[in-house]
Each structure stands twice: as structure tokens, then as C-alpha cells.
Structure 1
Amino acid sequence: MSEIFVGRQPIYDRELDVFAYELLFRSEQANSANVVDGDKATSDVIINTFMEIGLDNIVNKRLAFINLTRSFFVNHHAISLPKDRVVLELLEDIDADEEVIEGVKRLSQQGYSIALDDFIYHESLQPLVKLADLVKIDIMSLDKEEVRAHVLALRQHPVKLIAEKVETQADFDFCRELGFDYFQGYFFAQPKVIRGRRLPNNRLAILKLLSRLQDPDITPGQLEELIAQDVAFSYRILRYVNSAAYSLSRKIESIQQAVVILGLQNIKSWTTLLAMSQVDDKPNELVITAMVRGKMAEALAKAQKCDRPDSFFTVGLFSALDALMDNTMEEILTQLPLADHIANALLHRQGIHGEILSCVLAYERGDWERVKRSAVSMSEIRECYLAALHWAEEICHQLIEN
């Protein structure tokens, strides 16, 4: 697994308590950005934060400021982020044309907080100021009188002010006296680089998924089936939708539920971003094994008339995560807050989910004595296995063919 990085720099309130963190692109352990492609840098920050390391692992319960490039503001199908956890920063080098203003307005109306980065006042920026919730002023790029004039002008609007590039005690005293609400800079803390490990992904399934995403008539059910073909992607989607970012009252157990929660377009957007991140291949046979387990577990659950057979598919599919991710199941489940009965089935073979998974694994290994302990007849179990095998092989054949 390759290493991934996200930089973060704290933003303090007037009492010097941490108010939020600005998340920064980092391509290596060295504490510098080295941005070549702004869109990819933004995508990497979002992917690494929400679907690799985890938002709470980076900012805990605080807000995350995320720099967005022009395309993220003007794209009507941009990625969906938790509105109560993030602040979207409009970078200073983005021209405030009509398309950008409309994009900012749309996101603001959707409930996102908007910050203007490295703000230097100009009459053309007035429409953006009216839409913004926070304005960041780079005090190193202005003299004291200009900073004072900016504060005076901006206080005519209901925006919070953030002093950027606060380098010294004198800078902090000056900005605090002027009435800035928040402060950021090397005087308080340099950006800290957070490291993580990128999970492997099935390149073939992702490519197939991307090609199908171009079909405007794709249904939620078809999209769900496509996502389920790639275990690592299924893992990421469930990890994200079950994260604290969504504050759900109950854990999501299956891809079907995740599609309902995130919506068709948001799933498409996340997949597009995932395709921009580096992926690692695993042997096709290992992926087929995971798919067979999932489909067989689902079929056995239906045969026993269990509730939510899709959750049994999840258990079977994820039973191969340790091999796919090159990690222990215990460690993987610390990053994936699955419902307790699913986690217990994967770790300890407990509950009805654990019983069915045990039957699936026993059949796979030829442990016939253990298979016979199942509540389903041997002939039914054999039919479930053969149907699952046919389904998995057919799906993989389609992937390779296309």
C-alpha cells in the first residue's frame, strides 16, 4: 500500500482555542505543496481526507477548510461533502466571473459555508463578499493601513474575518486589536503533515464503473451492482457514509443503503474522484472469491428467509478484505465502523451472519462436516454456490470483455 499525505494548519479563535483546520495538499512527507495540477490536488485532499484517512482522524470534531479550484465551483455535479463539517475556500487566483459567482451562490444556497482566501478588496468582488461567510486576509501582502481599511470595509457585511500569515506576536496583537475573529499562521503552528496508507483498488472494476457512468440512463440498482463488484470501493463508500461526517442514527450495512443515502449523482462524483487517485491491482481470482462469497451468503440468507439479505452479501464480500488490503481484519475494522453484528460475523463468526459466513467458508474449503451443520440442505447449499460462482464469473467475463 502506498503512503498518502494531507497537510493541516490550525485556525484559532480569539481565545486561542482551535476553531478549525485548513487542509492542504501534500504529495510527500516534506512540508510543502508542490502543486502542479490544482484540480487533482483538490481531489487528492478530498479523497485522502474522507475516504482514506478519515475526516475525524485529521480534524477530530472541528471544521475542515478545503481549498477548491474553479471547476469545483462551476461544476453542477461536484462532489458532495458534509455541510456541517467543511468550509469551502474560493482561492484568490480564481476570476470572479458570472459563472463562478453563480457557482458560489448555488453552493451557499445548498447550505455550505464559503470562505474567500487571501482576499484583497476590489469592486468586482462585491458579489462574492455578499455570499461569503468568512473572509481571509493575508496580512503579509498588505501594509497596516491597508489591513485596517479592509477590516473597516468588510465590517459592513455579516462576515467573520480570518487573519492569515500571522508570523509574530506583534502581528497577532495588531490583528486582535483590529477585531479579527480568527487567526492562522506560523506564529501559532506550521502545517502538520498527516500520513496514511492508501487502500488497494481493483483497477479493472473502476475502469468498468467509469465507462458505465457515462450512461445517462443508469439506474440506482445497476450502479449498486457495479459498485459491489469492487470490494475496495465498496469498503470506501461504506466507510464514508458510516463516518461521523454524516451523523447517522444507525450504521449503514450495505451498498444498496449507501446509494440511497448518498444519491446517484454523488456516487458518480465520488467514483470520478476515486479514479483520479492511484490504484493497485490484486489477482482477479481473489476478487472473484470475494464476489462468490458475497453472492452465496446472500442466497443462503434468502433460503433461510433472513431479513436484509443484502447485508449478508456485504459480510461475504468483505470476508476477503484482509487479503485484498494486505492487513488484518481487526485493523481494517478499526477504520470501517460497520454495524456490530456484521463486524462480529467477520471477526468472530457470531450471529446468523457469522453462521452463514462460516457455512460459505466451509463449503469453499471442502469442510463438509461443518457444512452439514447448516440449517439449509446440502443440495440447496450446492445450488447457492453454483449460482454465485456463475454470477461472479459472468460479471468478471463482462469486465474483461469490455
Structure 2
Amino acid sequence: MNKSTGATEVTILFARQPIYDRQHRLAGCELLFRPCPRAEALTEPFDGDLATRQVILNAFRETDIRKVCENTPAYINFTANALRGEIPFDPGDIVIEILETVEATDEVVAAIEHYRQRRYAIALDDYRLTDAGHPLLPFADIVKLDYPHYGDDELPALVTQLRHRYPYLKILAEKIETLEDFLYCREAGCDLFQGYYLARPSRVERERLSEKHFEILQLLAELNRVDASQDELAETIGSDDFLEEQLLGIVNSTHFDCREKITSVAMAIDALGQRRIRNLASMLALAKLDDKPCSLQKLALDRGELCQGLADNLAETPISGFTVGLFSILDAFFQRSLDEIFDSLPLPRVLKEAVLEHRGPMGLILATTLHLEQGELEDLDWAALAEQGLTPEQVSHAQQQAIENSDMFF
């Protein structure tokens, strides 16, 4: 995403940190931004006020921010300086997130009251107190508890205090990294949960891989064979009644606007291309795991689309970028390590090296995608990306395109 600020064309890289409700449904996204007029600028000191005011709020049109956050509120960090002035978005589109470094001065309190009167939601970020004594709590709609900071008994006690003193306050637990963390915080009474726990396997002891799960893994491997012809792909999909029926239903929906009714997988491949049909079929194969939340499937789709968008800029792609992204998250679907999954399937070495070791150009693509996904914008290896011909502008464009492609499927 580009925005002209004076004489400089600024490229904006962003990351979305998902926020889920108690049923794993997406309830919002914290948006993290990094403006850079050139690739090497990413190593320069970061100006939070610039990110919030001059670049972020002016670079995103209202439709952009809704699309990026999938029609849920965008949580955006505000410094004390950024609270000055007006916000060019409707109150329902964003949550004003007050950074932990902001002091409760008269000016800050007045600014918060101004926004509350206009029905903007206010969130306190990175809360680490063990009581309900923060001076800005009376003005907050949401408080974000720094989960790793609290001991075993401290979090439930704090939630009880907050509930008693501020009954309408929503309590968000952030930095939730595992399903066990989520379950603990939910039991403690938290309402919202921010982190990447859906993308990681549980630590709970597992039973043997079921026959159904192994069949789905084999189906995924067959769908993503690098040497599969168009006829072989059509045969693989056609041999599975669920895949064929669901895929034809999607292809004939208004999303794709085909000129004639598609009545066979072969026709679908002719109309949309082998790559698109393979990706759709792979997502439908994962949909057979009906015990997994839709949010996990959406995360897998987002990762696959971004890997594909970045890989499209490479001179050579020995394997599909979508396949690399999709297979990198299979551990969360099957509750097995990626090493165990890869050992059980006849997969090409280039895929194993990219996913398990982040080796080669496709490994770099996956590593870049994971950094963007997890908000680790400072860790992007711009020198390595430049060697592969990737610029910040291309990375930003790939992000935008991935969001549009994901929205088409979901």
C-alpha cells in the first residue's frame, strides 16, 4: 500500500494480529504498521506518532480498513500525541488503543472523553497491574491484559476485581500462544483473546492419527503434486464426492461469475486454471476436519495466498507458494509436528526444506510470510528479499492481493 506524503512515496507494510471471542470467532484485528520510503528505512528508528497520524490514518480509506480486518474493528495504537486531532473513520471501524506509555494527563483524559462522546471504543494496552487501580480504567471499554506477566492465581483474581468494579468492561487476554493458554484465560473469565494459538498444535497428549485424518493428508499430498497433470488433478478431485460437489458449488457461485454453468471438474480447471482449482480443493479437503474452527481455515488460506503472492515475484518457483503456506500450518490442523506429518507423506524435498528449514527461495517466502503474519516487521530480511528481486512495494502489494483473494473464498 502506497501513500504520498509530500515529495516521498511511502510504502506501508502492515500486520494483522487476530482477536477472537470465546468461540474462536474473529472479533477484531490489531493493526501493526511500518512505513518505509525505501527498504533500508526499515532499520531506522520507528516514529510511533508518524505511524499513527501521518501515515496510517491517512493511507487507509474506510473501505480498506474494513477489508483488511474482515469487517471487524481495527485496534490501532495511539500515543499521547496521536490522540490530538480527528480520526477519519467511523466509530464502528476502529478501537483506539491507548499505549501503556501514555500518562493520564488532563489533556489525555480530555481527548479520551472527546472520543468516547463520539462513540469510539477505548482500549488500554498491555495492562500489567494486579488491581483495578489504573487511572484510565474508568474511561476504557476494553482492557488488554498482558497474560504472560501474571502468575497462576493472579489473573483470575484480577479479572474478578475488574468485573466487580467495571461490570461492562470487556477483558482481553493478549499474547495467547497455545490452546491451553486460551482455555485457561477463558476459564478465568476473559472475553477476548489475542495471539497465534490457533496456528499452533496443542500440547495435550494425542492419540494415534485416525484413518480419516491420514486419508485427508494423503489427499492433500496428491492434490499438491508438482508433476500432476490437469487430467490427474481432475481425477483426484472427481474421486472424492465431497470435494467435487463442494468445488462445483463454489465455482458456480457469484464469486467467480463464470459465463456458463460449470458441470465438471475439467470444465472448472479450464475456466479458472489448474492452480486456482488445486488451491480451492486443498482448502475443501481441510474443511473435512469439522472439529476445527473456521478461523483456523481462514488463517491457513491467508497464509497460503500471501506465500503465493510473494512467490509470483520470483524468477523460478519449483513448487506452489500456496502449497508451502498451507503445509506449514498442517500441525495445527492435525495436532502433529510438521516433521511427523512430512515423514508420513511422499512430498518433494524442496517442500520439506522450505517448510521445515526455511531453506531456499521458497523458504524465504515462507519466513517472510510468517514475519508479516505475526507482526515481526523488524525481522524481515530485506537483503535476502532483494537478492530474489522482491521490493517493499511488491511485498505490500502481495499483502493487499492476498486479502482480496481470501475474501473471494470465504
TM class by shorter chain equals 0.3 to 0.5
| TM-score normalised per structure 2 | 0.42
Which of the two has higher C-alpha Rg? 1
